[in-house]
């Protein structure tokens, strides 16, 4: 009797067994990788986002995060901009990106746990920046990016 015939008799196929084995190995490798990332970044949200992982949520609702919106964008002294966002229920943080080339490329700027007062530092006076943000957390990881706002830094 062939291995394939034996597998069919015992309730499975060789291909399914191989697929299950590969899936288990992949799952174990990803869990191990995530465990190592968690050990290194601890509670540093900015460092976590750089890894490509999103924070796990204790929220078990099946709905995605609502989108945030830019409520205000103001100069906050030389080389700083104050960003105000609409708060989002279940958001753990807000990821902010800036662009100094009309939104062609975006730079990760910061992660803030507050929506109502996000200070973006180290900007160049006289440069017009586009700013966008998204909420992080909830059951789906992240909301959509806001429509970009623009401001010339003083």
Domains identified in the chain, total number: 2
Q: Which residues contact 100 (CB under 8 A, 6 or more apart)?
A: 124, 127, 128, 129, 130
Which domain, by its residues, includes 15? Answer: 3-41
The answer as to whether 56 is a domain residue is no
Pick the closest to residue 132 from 65, 85, 80, 78 (CA basis): 85
Q: Are residues 90 and 136 in the same domain?
A: yes
The answer as to whether 110 is a domain residue is yes
Q: Are residues 13 and 84 in the same domain?
A: no
Burial class (CB in 10 A: 0-12, 13-18, 19+), 57: middle
Strand-strand pairing, 118-120 and 107-112: unpaired
Q: Are residues 79 and 13 in the same domain?
A: no
Report yes or no on whether pTM surpasses 0.75: no
* Interatomic CA distance for residues 101 and 84, integer angstroms: 22
pLDDT score at 44: 81
Q: Are residues 89 and 26 in the same domain?
A: no
Q: Are residues 28 and 99 in the same domain?
A: no
Q: Are residues 148 and 74 in the same domain?
A: yes
Q: Are residues 142 and 88 in the same domain?
A: yes
> pLDDT per position in the chain (154 positions), as tens?
666 666 556 566 677 777 878 888 888 888 788 778 888 887 787 787 777 777 765 655 556 789 999 999 999 988 999 999 999 988 889 999 999 999 999 999 999 999 999 999 999 999 999 999 999 987 678 999 999 999 999 9
pLDDT score at 115: 92
* Interatomic CA distance for residues 45 and 38, integer angstroms: 11
């Amino acid at each position: 009797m062939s291995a394939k015939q034996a597998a069919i008799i015992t309730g499975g196929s060789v291909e399914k067994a191989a697929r299950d084995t590969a899936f288990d190995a992949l799952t174990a490798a990803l869990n191990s990788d995530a465990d190592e990332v968690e050990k290194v970044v601890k509670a540093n949200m900015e460092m976590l986002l750089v890894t490509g992982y999103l924070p796990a949520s204790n929220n078990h609702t099946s709905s995605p995060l609502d989108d945030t919106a830019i409520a205000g964008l103001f100069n906050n002294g030389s080389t700083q901009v104050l960003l105000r966002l609409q708060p989002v229920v279940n958001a753990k943080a807000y990821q902010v990106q800036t662009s100094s080339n009309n939104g062609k490329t975006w730079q990760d700027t910061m992660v803030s746990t507050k929506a109502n007062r996000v200070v973006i530092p180290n900007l160049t006076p006289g440069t017009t920046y586009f700013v966008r943000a998204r909420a992080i957390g909830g059951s789906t990881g992240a909301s959509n990016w806001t429509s970009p706002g623009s401001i010339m830094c003083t």
